[in-house]
Amino acid sequence: MEKGADKAPRKDPSLSVESYHAMQRPETGNQQEEVEDHLSHTLPFVLVCCITLLGSGGLIIGVGPFIERMVKDGYFSDRCNDRESGCAEQYDAMNPIFNGGFQIMTWTSAITGILLTAWGPRYNATIGMIFLTIGCGILATAETEDGPNFFMMGYGFIGGGGNLMYISSFHFANLFENKAVPIGILGGIFNLSGLLFMLLNIPGVTIKIFFSGYSFVGMGLVVLVAIFYPDDSIEDGEGYSLKFPTYSHVSCSRVYQEICRPEVFKAVKSTRFLGFCVLFAWCTMSNVVIGGLVESLAASKSSDSDSLHIFNGYAYPIIGNSTFLFAPMVGYLIQETGFALSMTFCIVFTQISLALCWGPELVSQYFMLFF
């Protein structure tokens, strides 16, 4: 018998319980980190996307179904005199609602950055949702006798209030290392929210019923953003955590400090920045004018009520708001190539849209919507 043959076989330490748990610890740790990452990054961003869908200023881009429902509800039908409702004059009377409302949204957006610096995203977003709720209340109670300017104010409150919240949401992109795609997603959802006005195509859903109901949505958003949005903007590399509201970060002097930085003055004076402002202003102004005239242009090119209903109620919001399909790709394009290429496309498409407005038939307006 060999020496030591009667000894018990040596236990392989790799099979011990301790070793087994030791091997599992790294994987468990990785899983825990992944869960924490979702809780502090992905889930907050998903919630922001849902809030943006329901409450951004992009709601007012759904002007096609909105105007079409106003025609069906008989608003400003007196402009047609003895003719059937839906005449070109009736559409013309309602043009200021979108054009003026969009201007309210634009100028509100211009000061949102200043307000965001002064008192942070929580108060910005909360005030914005209060304005949205007021705007819904105005549209729910407005009558033809109040005039288009009253409707315009309500429409503008929805757009302006929505953008107070929307612009206060972009800092959530700092939760991710690659910010271009999240920003593109938020930009796409801005346009996607305009499709919500397609609910006005449902028979029996009048302007009063829709906006009375949506005012309750606005109230819910007021509470949600007041609880969920942080006091101060999220910085690069930070995670999200729910915190109780405070006033310690509110500082109007911080606005002055941010605006008066030397690099800000240097950027404003640069030819590149001024050129961007001019080109962007041209593209934006052109699209706003087109957006406000689409219904009137369609009415001037076709007298068929069914064709106009399909164009205004479905084609306009679906095709016109399809930007949400391309916005993430545009964000990726900007990240990879810079702004020049995407801005060139924007200018070219804007010019094509303007040219198609002069088309003789309604079909030309369909092509215009694509651009």
Q: What is the pLDDT of residues 212-251, one digit of tens each?
A: 999 999 999 999 999 999 888 878 777 777 777 777 677 7
Hey, which of 9-18, 22-31, 225-234, 282-291 has the most confident mean pLDDT?
Answer: 225-234
Name which residue leads in pLDDT, 125 or 312. Answer: 125
What is residue 132's predicted lDDT score, i.e. its pLDDT?
A: 96
Segment 106-125 shows an average pLDDT of 83
Is the pLDDT assigned to residue 195 strictly greater than 90? Answer: no
Domains identified in the chain, total number: 1
* Structure-model confidence comparison of residues 307 and 13, the more confident one: 307
Backbone angles phi, psi at 324, to 5 degrees: -60, -20
In a domain, 299, yes or no: yes
Helices (H), 229-361: 253-259, 262-269, 271-301, 305-310, 316-320, 327-337, 339-356
Highest mean pLDDT (candidates 91-100, 320-329, 332-341): 91-100
Interatomic CA distance for residues 318 and 194, integer angstroms: 9
Mean of pLDDT over the chain = 79
Asked, for residue 32, whether it belongs to a domain, the answer is no
Q: Which two tokens stand for residue 277?
A: 């402002």
Residue 319's CATH number: 1.20.1250.20
Domain assignment of residue 175, yes or no:
yes
Decide if 45 is inside a domain.
yes
Identify the DSSP state of 37: H
Q: Give the residue, 157 or 42, on which the prediction is more confident.
A: 157
Whether 36 shows a pLDDT value over 70: the answer reads no
Question: Two tokens at 223?
Answer: 């509470």
Query: Percent of the chain, pLDDT > 90?
Result: 20
Instruction: Provide the b/e sequence for 123-132 (b: ≥16 CB within 10 Å).
Output: bbbbbbbbbb
Cα separation, 215 vs 71, in Å, equals 22
At residue 49, the pLDDT reads 92
Give the whole-angstrom CA distance, residue 181 versus residue 176. 9
Q: What is the mean pLDDT of residues 6-21?
A: 48
Reading the block at residue 12, the tokens are 């392989």
CA distance 298 to 295: 5
Examine residue 89 and state whether it is found in any structural domain, yes or no. yes
Q: Residue 109's domain spans which residues?
A: 40-237+252-370
Task: Please report whether residue 127 resides in a domain.
Answer: yes
Task: Please say if the pLDDT value at position 343 is more than 90.
Answer: no
